[in-house]
Amino acid sequence: MRIEKENSLLLVVDIQEKLFPHIKNNKELSQKTVTLLEGVKSLDIPMMAARQYPRGLGDTIEVVRPYFTTGYWDKTTFSCCGSEHLLAQLHGTGRKNIIIAGIEAHICVLQTVIDLKHHGFVPVVVTDAIGSRTERDYEISLRRMEFEGAVLTTVESILFELCRQAGTDAFKTISKLVK
């Protein structure tokens, strides 16, 4: 299955201020997430972001915030699909491939993946742009997501797959981002 930009959307899950400092390898995760966001932006792929109970977990981290000036989907369910408005918005885009970045891999990301699959989407999990507080939770969540039918990828791999060819402005941007 080829993942094409015309049929894809990026969903950023719960990368929030009060939880993010406790995520294993959070500096690398932050860098990879920004690389993913910049690459997706250069490809004109729509982006959405969810926040889990922002009153308790805070706003989206500062480096991610500028990419979502039109707002966020706030939720109290762990799965993003628990928000009827967010789910309706996803269906309304007509896009089938939902590229996922965020935290925590074993809770909100995992439950979102399971529910996206149930609702007929193809969850594409960017493994170096998701994280958990512990390595074990992260590793087990990847196994479970793959078992549930998610496509696993990396930031560099998905960006070049979406780009499809060299010589374009997006290719030049992505090439600089991944160096």
pLDDT, tens digit (0-9, with 9 covering 90-100), for 3-29:
999 999 999 999 999 999 999 999 999
Q: The tokens of 162 are what?
A: 């979406």
58 pLDDT exceeds 80? yes
pLDDT-derived band of residue 70, with 50, 70 and 90 as boundaries? confident
pLDDT band, very low/low/confident/very high, at 40 (cuts 50, 70, 90)? very high
Domains identified in the chain and CATH numbers: 5-178 (3.40.50.850)
Asked whether 13 and 80 are in contact (CB, 8 A), the reply is: yes
What is the pTM for the complete model shown? 0.96
**Backbone dihedral angles phi then psi of residue 8, each to the nearest 5 degrees:** -125, 155
Distance CA 103, CA 130 (A): 6
